Structure 1
Amino acid sequence: MTDPSDQPIHVLLLRLVLNLAFLVVPFVIPLYLPLPFAIAYWAGAMAAEWIEDRLFGKVDHTFVWMLGGCFGLSYAVAMLMSGTVASVLAGVACFLLLLWLQSLWEKRTDMRIERTPEPPIAAAESDARSDNSAWGSPVPVTPEGESLRVLACHEIAMGGPVICDYLLPDGSVILGAGSSTGFSADRQYFVSPSPSRGQWGLLIYDRRSHILYRCDDATAFWEIDLVTETTITGRHSPVTSNRTYSAQIAELIAGAEKEQMVTVVDLKIPAKDWADICDRDEASLPAGPAGVPDITSIPYLPDSLMALEAPLDPLYHPMAELVVDGVTSGLLISTRYPDVVWREDANAFACFANRKDHRDESGYWSWKTANGWREIAKGHDIGANRPYASRDGLAALDPDHLAVGWTLAQPELGYSRFGRLSSYAHAPLEIDGRTYPQPVVRQCLPLVEGGATESIESAPLNTGKRIRWHFLRRDTDLSCDVFTCTFGVQALEGEWLLDHRISATGDFIALVAYAASPEVPHRIAVLDGETGMLAWIEESLCDPQLQGFAEDTLHFVHLVGRIDDGPTGPAYLSADEAPQNFDEAVPPPAKARAFMEHRDGSALHYRQSAATLRNGAWRLRSDKP
């Protein structure tokens, strides 16, 4: 559930206005009604209470309208009196009479009106002090000596109290609990705060009846010190008062929200949490061309969830077994993000799936009308090294290859145009007010080992041709892969990196040439899609990494030196300080690989630059820092 404190300020203000309007409007409207209409307003509100009770089993929203009707009718009666004292007495008497009539109506019709009782919590003096902290505690242990499993644990905010999900030995799952917990002396109840950025609550789980009580009004307990058979003793925020409070378990339960547990395989999950898990969209299998076989899926859960390392994963990430023409496959696909692609002739399809008998093993599989299922080798992992990439899904299937889509990440500097290479963003990049999308590639995997070769292809240029990369080896020092390249049928001389950018017009593609040890990559080439000719940027640029390509301007970052990254070193310069302030300039390419090796107290310093096409040549643009 969404924490209100996590919502934007405009949403919170809108909710505040709507809540105020809900409280004020029912009292304002009857003030402007004549006496007959005020009587009708009050009678209508009473009838609305009865209707809400019959429809929803309780009276909640219409109660305030009934109070508004009492107030408005009392005001109308008071206005009939002459004299201030008589008006006040008549109005008060009428209001009390109407409330009495309402109580009779409530009893007569057996209505259940929501009233929030005061939480039965009182300040207490106690010498009991547990070592359990809201900021982290040892794994809880049941009175029987069995440890609870901590399924997840994270801080509310940086340095704040933690929220934990627990699995009890009997399969009961308690979500959104605190790290400070306790068991009652009679072993019946498990007690934990319910941390929040806003108002905290208290969770009481009846281990015998399998009922969870959510005590949302019990806000005093941040840390649990002692739980007897009848009483809970604990403290409020240790960073403020650290005051001790106590409450009777029976009284807390009486005013709590009672929640049954739902059995899912061998787990018991609170009904509300299970409803949240189920309330997630599931996608249908993509439709294939005409004449495809009948493909369905059967929801799948393992025989035991408790036996899994992550018992809730099959629930949060549900899988289903593929069935082709009524025959089960033994392969599981995601029900929320099914990754399936059809061949155009409808005689084959491929999918990304997990084996049912080895659920942790995922891979690519193809099915053909003639010979059924066949596993496809995953091929080279292009996401593990620079320029890093994320898998998008299956893109196409032909008689020889399965095409898998990938999106390359984009290098970002600490201060946009200079600084340390802080991250690789999986998002569009904005440079000089213009947004540059992430480049995409397709990995073409051969369907049969020893048949067609594996390759990676770029998006097409205007001519329809693509660059194709063929893997050679991995450079572990620089964490990058080395390829040969072809453009159409044209082989490009030399060795290349996967990093590339296609110009906004689709006329050019920029590539980074590889350089073997002791050098590092330092040359950028731009290929003309019409002629297939390579033009090199004239300047040598150490470790260039591409960012964006406009019509005739290529943006990239490159290494310029080293900088002190100690606590007060210039690596922490503010964005308005000169980017030239580095301690040691980068040496020539032949010595750059040793220069880039890790040093304590020193960071590599990069700069953003751009090259433009001028008079038929690509040159650095001078206005970049």
Structure 2
Amino acid sequence: MIATPTLPRLFLELFWQLTILLVPAFFVTVMPPPLALLTVLFFGLLMGIAARLGFLSVGRGCARLMVGAVFGLGFSLGRVLFEYWGILIAIVVIIGGLACVSKWERRLGLVSDPVKGPSAWGGSEPQLTPEGEPIRTFNHGEIAMGGPTYCDYLFPDGVLLQGLGASSVFSSDGRYFAAPVPSRQSWGLVVLDRQQRRIYRCDNSEFWELDTLDLNSLSGRHSPLVDNSVRQTRIDELLQTASAADLVPVADLWLEPGWYPDDIAHTFERRSADGQQCLVGNVVLPPTFRDLPQPLEPLRSPRYAISVNGQPSGLLMAADTALVWGTNHRALVCRAQEQTGHPGGDRYWLWQVDQGWRALPSPWVKSDAEPSFYWHDVVGLDEHHARIGSYLDYPRPSLGRYGYRLDSIHSDTEIQAGHDAQGRLQVAGFQLTRMSIAMPLDSQGRRGESFIETQPMLDGACAHLIWLCDNSEGLGAYRCQIGDWQLPGRWLLDHRVSDCGRYLALLPFADSMTVATHAAVVDVKARCLLEGPSMWVARLLDFRNGLLSLAAITGRLDQDLNGSALQRFNVPAPQIGGDPSFFHSDEHSRLFYNTVELRVSDSQLCSVTPWRLADRPQAATAEGDFIQPSPEQRDAAWLFGSDTEYADSWVRANTPRLGGYLLTASGCALTDLAPSMIWSPDGRYLALTRMATDVTELCGSYRGWQLLLLDVQEHSLRVHAQWLGNRPLFEGFDDEQVHVRCFERDWEAEDDEDPGSVHSLSLSLLLQLPTEQLICLDGFWLSASQAHLAPHWRALALPAISHFEHKSL
């Protein structure tokens, strides 16, 4: 390693550098400008003579003196020319003179550009060995978005190194190859001895980019994002402290121990339940690995040649592929591919004792208009049908409970499943709607030959959805049958079994429509059909705790408008039975999807109000719309439309909400509020909070909470001048003070141990704050800056607080 200079030596070197710069600058400054110019030229001449005679160190010393003289020339001009334009000329002379010195140094060969190796961000990885043979790089990736890259290197002799950085170099004699190992935490360094096929992993995080590797040392740089400072180390010291391992020969590759699967099974067998039939698989490896797109793929996902009862099949399958024996133990179905390499990859294959192997067609013919779903593993086989496991996607609205598209989710996830007393979101796991495709063994692969079997319900019963026809929009009409009970009517493919297994939610089929006109629920136990209220239903979402969630279309919003809680759409959906073209794609507007809940109770399917009644102050992380009445029920506050700062569909239970809209029964309408609020005992004052994400007054923070005081009797608003702490939670409001608890963090941990601290604000002092008088427009009291929103407030449906209005102050 390079010796670190002592502190006195550093001071001495700094003093010397300043001396050779300041001394000529001082003496040249006191000279007349013509003589100063001659001095500069003299030092330039000395540089040229020293360089011609080979005295490079003397030439570099003269260059430093010339730099000082250039500054002196500029100061000399500034001393003679007193006007402001003279100072400008002096600055120009200094800048131009320094540029000339630099150019003269390079022309004389006194300085050279530093040698820089490949970038850590990729694009210049070595493509050839020092011997001129090609190197293959693949599996490129980034350690972070836009961060340094890594890749795999395959050398012509079969050495495969994985996950190394892009800035790699060979030693000058070609024996060693070195590359950093990018990481989010501590970087590493790898050195390959190509002669001995030995790899060294060095405990060195200093090198991000490598420049040169000679017989003695490795040179590079650390973190171009920070200072790009030079690093250098001796190669022998580096290898002595590294962990070394000899590469292992695997087929025609040389691999690092532990970087490849070495425990693959060479054979497996699967017997029928009665033990009479036996499928055996023997691993098949290619003769060469180097030429494969992924050289290690045969080891990571090995394929096996299968035979049944000793008879070869000519098929290859993976050891973990689902394989199902028939109920009579004389047949099986699995996924496999022909050894000759069928272009379609894996297919479903049927084996029967008397008939041998036969390829089955794809089990389902998709329609783009129907819900997205996939199928994969075989789950059952009887004398007439093979059953293929499948699932429906989860069509989550793009902005949580509403949105302007339905995101197609193809994995189990988390969803909103209720609220605690303070409005915090309760999260539950969501499982996709499982089902199976029952494919006839004699299927020709035509649409409608297979039918859908739902997941089991009460007593293990499954509903069968049997295709009948498609409408003009490509949606299929299905007959629904549960045992010997055939439901009246025709239904869509979309369905959902309730968590208790008693109910099955369906959507009725309609000619020339892409959406349903209502939802229906089958009560399997009571053997009856419940129909919900009329609405335009796009998809079923969830069915738990007796609540059926739907994605309903309630309107369209023009593309040039931004949706808000006051204006989710500007074109309402037509009445049931209206023009179906409303739901077609339109480049000028987008459909608005709203989550609607229906409750199953007393043999009815009734709508659930989209808001909840809060009997206590809500947390700053409270989710959803709610009404908080005043203590004596004389007024009420309805908060709606609040969301996280991300405003997306992800469940963020511990993140504060902001941007909410407030309407009181007494007509006060405010915007941009957080959920935390509390009424005064007499219901005259309402303490509110507002969350700002662009606060610059707070040191080390970018967000803050404000306290506001609304007087619903005088229709006025006061804003507290000081910022509150994080996530304010009101704990009391008496005749004298407002009590609010604030926390250290602005987000709430699941195992939160932050008790916070309570602050008491004097009501009398709050009432002395500057007052903003609200103005009355169309019966709503608005801030003057929000007067333009009056039409939107007027158009808002007000079912939530209408029953409080006759008690308002």
TM over 0.5: yes
- Cα distance change on mapping 1:588 and 1:286 into 2, 3 Å: farther
| Amino acid in structure 1 at the alignment position of 2:172 | A
CA shift, 1:425, in A, is 4.9
Q: 1:256 aligns with which of 235, 242, 246?
A: 242
Cα deviation, residue 176, structure 1: 1.4
Instruction: Please give the secondary structure, in 1, of the residue aligned with 2:391.
Output: strand
Judge conservation of contact 1:469–1:483 (CA < 8 Å) in 2. Answer: no
2:389 equivalent in structure 1:
405
Corresponding residue number in structure 1 for 2:114: 128
The answer to whether 1:427 aligns with 2:415 is no
Identity %: 30
Are residue 357 (structure 1) and residue 340 (structure 2) matched? yes
1:202 counterpart residue number:
189
1:519, 1:439 → 2: CA distance? 21
C-alpha contact (below 8 Å) 2:469/2:478 kept by paired residues: no
> Which residue identity lines up with residue 341 of structure 1 in the other structure?
V
2:507·2:520 contact (CA, 8 Å) conserved in 1?
yes
| Alignment-derived partner of residue 705 in structure 2 | none
CA distance in 1, matches of 2:376, 2:359: 20
**Corresponding residue of 1:501:** 496
Matches within 5 A, 1:166-315: 166-215=153-202, 217-274=203-260, 277-278=261-262, 288-315=272-299
Aligned to 2:321, which of 329, 338, 342? 338
Task: Give the Cα separation in 2 of the matches to 1:615 and 1:248.
Answer: 83
**CA distance in structure 2 between the aligned counterparts of 1:151 and 1:174, rounded to whole angstroms:** 11
Which residue of structure 1 lines up, in the alignment, with residue 792 of structure 2? Answer: none
- Structure 1 residue 214, shift from structure 2 partner: 1.3
Distance 1:458 1:356, change over 3 A: same
Q: SS where residue 519 of structure 2 aligns?
A: strand
CA distance in 2, matches of 1:345, 1:537: 44
Pair 519,603 (structure 1): closer, same or farther in 2 beyond 3 Å: closer
- Report if the CA contact (8 A) 1:523-1:537 is conserved: yes
How big is each residue's C-alpha offset from its partner over 1:192-242, in whole Å with a ceiling of 9 and x where there is no partner?
111112211111223333222212x22211112233454432111001120
The 2-side partners of 1:580 and 1:230 are apart by 71
Query: What are the Cα deviations for residues 263-312 of structure 1, in whole angstroms up to 9, with x where unaligned?
Result: 222222211212xx336899965553123323322122222222322222
Indicate which of 454, 457, 466 corresponds to 1:458: 454
Give how far 1:553 is off. Answer: 2.4
CA distance in 2, matches of 1:201, 1:425: 37
Determine the structure 1 residue equivalent to 2:310: 326
**Contact 2:392–2:433, Cα closer than 8 Å, also in 1:** yes
- The Cα shift of 1:261 comes to 1.9
Deviation at 1:339, TM superposition (A): 1.1
Aligned counterparts of 1:309 and 1:497: Cα–Cα separation in 2: 43
Check whether the contact 2:268–2:281 (CA below 8 A) recurs between aligned residues. Answer: no
Question: In the superposition, relative to structure 1, how do residues 223 and 281 fare at CA in structure 2: closer, same or farther (>3 Å)?
Answer: farther
Q: Is residue 369 of structure 2 the alignment partner of residue 388 of structure 1?
A: no
Counterpart residue number, 1:448: 442
2:532 corresponds to which residue? 537
Question: Taking CA–CA contacts closer than 8 Å with sequence separation of 6 or more, which of the two structures ends up with the larger relative contact order?
Answer: 1
User: 1:340-386: per-residue Cα shift (whole Å, max 9, x none)?
Assistant: 11112221222112222217610111222222212121221669875
Could you say if the C-alpha distance between residues 296 and 281 of structure 1 is closer, same or farther in structure 2, counting changes exceeding 3 Å?
closer
Residues 385 and 322 (structure 1), Cα distance of their counterparts in 2 relative to 1, 3 Å cut: farther
Q: Deviations over 1:468-517 (max 9, x none)?
A: 2345678997xx85242230455556654322111233332111234454
- SS across alignment from 1:441: strand
Distance 1:319 1:450, change over 3 A: closer
RMSD: 3.5
SS of 1:367 mapped into structure 2: strand
What residue is the counterpart of 1:141 in the other structure?
127
Q: In structure 2, do the counterparts of structure 1 residues 593 and 137 end up closer, same or farther at CA, with 3 Å as the change threshold?
A: farther
Matched position secondary structure for 1:196: coil
Distance 1:133 1:564, change over 3 A: farther
Counterpart code for 2:383:
P
Q: Give the Cα separation in 1 of the matches to 2:581 and 2:167.
A: 51
Task: Give the equivalent residue in structure 1 for 2:605.
Answer: 618
* Structure 1 counterpart of 2:400: 416
- Given that 1:322 and 1:330 are in contact with CA atoms closer than 8 Å, whether structure 2 keeps it comes out as yes
1:181/1:521 Cα in 2 relative to 1: closer, same or farther (>3 Å)?
A: farther
Structure 1: distance between partners of 2:571 and 2:476: 29
Alignment partner, residue 557 of structure 1: 551
Structure 1 residues 621 and 280, CA gap change in structure 2 (3 angstroms) = farther
Deviations 1:99-155 (A, max 9, x none): xxxxxxxxxxxxxxxxxxxxxxxxxx9843447322232453113555533331222
Give the alignment partner of residue 480 of structure 2, picking from 464, 468, 486: 486
Deviates most, 319-328 or 238-247: 319-328
Cα separation, partners in 2 of 1:425 and 1:582, compared to 1, 3 Å: farther
Q: What CA distance in whole angstroms lies between the structure 2 residues aligned with 1:349 and 1:339?
A: 11
Contact preservation (8 Å) 2:252, 2:288:
yes
| Structure 1 residues 192 and 447, CA gap change in structure 2 (3 angstroms) | same
Partner of 1:162: 149
Give the aligned partner of residue 53 of structure 1. none
Paired with 1:200 and 1:137, the residues of 2 have a C-alpha distance of 20
Distance 1:492 1:302, change over 3 A: farther
- Secondary structure at the aligned position of 1:613 is classed as strand
Deviations 1:47-103 (A, max 9, x none): xxxxxxxxxxxxxxxxxxxxxxxxxxxxxxxxxxxxxxxxxxxxxxxxxxxxxxxxx
2:508 corresponds to which residue?
513
**Are 2:512 and 1:528 aligned?**
no
* Equivalent residues of 1:520, 1:593 under 8 A apart: no
> Following superposition of structure 1 onto structure 2, how do residues 48-63 of structure 1 map, counting pairs within 5 Å?
none
Partner residue in 2 for 1:81: none
Residue from 315, 325, 330 that aligns with 1:347: 330
Partners of 1:391 and 1:205 in 2: how far apart?
45
Contact 2:125 2:168 in 1 (8 A): no
Contact kept, 8 Å, 2:390 with 2:435, in 1: the verdict is yes
Residue 532 of structure 2 is aligned to residue 548 of structure 1: no
The answer to which of 440-449 and 202-211 deviates more is: 202-211
Measure, in 1, the Cα distance between the counterparts of 2:472 and 2:126: 44
- Structure 1 position 317, deviation (Å): 1.8
**Cα distance per residue 1:521-545 (max 9 Å; x no partner):** 44322223256654332222242x2
Alignment CA distance shift 1:247-1:426 (3 Å): same
8 A Cα contact 2:372 2:408, kept in partner = no
Q: Residue 411 of structure 1 contacts residue 425 of structure 1 at CA under 8 Å; is this kept in 2?
A: no
When residues 167 and 457 of structure 1 are mapped into structure 2, their CA distance, relative to the original with a 3 A threshold, is same
Aligned length: 486
1:251 aligned partner, one-letter code: E
Distance in 2, matches of 1:147 and 1:564, equals: 56
Measured at CA, do residues 429 and 525 of structure 1 come closer, stay the same or move farther in structure 2, by a change above 3 Å?
farther
Alignment equivalent of 1:467, drawn from 463, 469, 473? 463
* Counterpart pick for 2:354 among 364, 370, 374: 370
Picking from 433, 439, 443, the partner of 1:439 is: 433
Instruction: Report the alpha carbon displacement of residue 162 of structure 1 after superposing the two structures with TM.
Output: 2.1
Within-5 A mapping of 1:26-105: none
Shift of the 512–169 alpha-carbon distance from structure 1 to 2, 3 Å rule, reads farther
